[in-house]
Amino acid sequence: MKLTPYSENCGMVVQDVQLAKLSDDEIVELRAHFAEHGVLFFYDQDLPPAEHLRFAKRFGQLVVNRFFQPVENFPEIAQVRKEKSQTTNIGGAWHTDHSYDQEPAMGSILVARELPAAGGDTRFANMYKAWESLPDDLKVQLEGLQAEHSSSHVYGKEGYYAATDLGESLNLESEVGEAVHPVVIRHPDSGKKALYVNPGLTARILGMSRQESHELLTRVYTLVDETDVYCDFEWQPGAVAMWDNRSTWHNANNDYQGDFRLLHRVTLAGAPLEAA
């Protein structure tokens, strides 16, 4: 397989592979690239739902997203779906999947099914680089801290989506997720440090007032925003994105109003996170 950077600080395009036909050695190689680079992009893949699942299961256990509608006959595959008539999209803010779970998802594998005529890119951010880019005084302040993550303000019965036109197509009655994780983690496979707070699902930093926590998180997010750790993945038919939720953020662009977009996501189960 051949890897080419998608942009300077974010994402790798993996060529010369068919994900439905990888050898065991290629899976080992892919796992190492996944840990090292955080987000991998593939083009021209033939990955119908059964093959999507088979490929994902070669990386470990799956976790089913309880808020999204499943694909018919494939309960382990979530639909990331926006109808022509809907104005709100799924995942349209910076986040990392399932950080509200005690054992946050290791990764996600997203396959293009039906794309809008234009727009609908997914933005990614590299949280290894984000951590490295922070000033030393802030790094010292953040190391050792813990943050609470929650699904309730987004997927709860009174959360963000409930008040939108996407609310009816999500399972907002599902159990709320709440978990505490280190603000800076040591990635279990690469051994590198990564920033593990995200604007969408991190509720607060523990041991501080709400105001102090808000100010600290705002400072961190503003600095990350000013740093070149981003890439916009432009979807094509047959494209697949595979990202590590411990070392990336993502954000689905909602710039295709009046058009339909459908992708299928399989989520890979993870383990409790260790502080750096």
- Point out which residues bind ligand SIN (CB under 6 A): 80, 90-91, 97, 108, 110, 122, 250, 252, 263, 265
Cα 143 to Cα 139: distance, rounded to the nearest angstrom: 6
Cα maximum dimension of the chain: 52
If the CB atoms of residues 56 and 205 are measured against ligand SIN, the closer one turns out to be 56
Minimal distance in Å, beta carbon 28 to ligand SIN? Answer: 26
| C-alpha distances out from residue 209 to 116, 151, 202, 216, 276, Å | 43, 20, 15, 11, 24
If the CB atoms of residues 10 and 80 are measured against ligand SIN, the closer one turns out to be 80
Minimal distance in Å, beta carbon 82 to ligand SIN? Answer: 8
Minimal distance in Å, beta carbon 97 to ligand SIN? Answer: 6
Say how many Å lie between the first and final Cα of the chain, rounded: 31
If the CB atoms of residues 186 and 199 are measured against ligand SIN, the closer one turns out to be 199
If the CB atoms of residues 192 and 250 are measured against ligand SIN, the closer one turns out to be 250
Q: What angle do CA 59, 61, 65 make, to 5 degrees?
A: 115
Minimal distance in Å, beta carbon 200 to ligand SIN? Answer: 9
If the CB atoms of residues 19 and 263 are measured against ligand SIN, the closer one turns out to be 263
Cα 174 to Cα 157: distance, rounded to the nearest angstrom: 9
| C-alpha distances out from residue 107 to 5, 116, 141, 187, 193, Å | 20, 25, 28, 13, 17
Minimal distance in Å, beta carbon 161 to ligand SIN? Answer: 12
Minimal distance in Å, beta carbon 91 to ligand SIN? Answer: 2
The dihedrals phi and psi of 16, each to the nearest 5 degrees, come to 65, 35
Closest CA to 60 of 242, 185, 235, 193: 242
Cα 42 to Cα 240: distance, rounded to the nearest angstrom: 5
Instruction: Kindly calculate the radius of gyration of the chain based on its CA atoms and give it in whole angstroms.
Output: 18
Cα 164 to Cα 262: distance, rounded to the nearest angstrom: 18
Shortest Cβ contact with ligand SIN: which residue? 91
If the CB atoms of residues 80 and 224 are measured against ligand SIN, the closer one turns out to be 80
If the CB atoms of residues 9 and 108 are measured against ligand SIN, the closer one turns out to be 108
Minimal distance in Å, beta carbon 251 to ligand SIN? Answer: 8
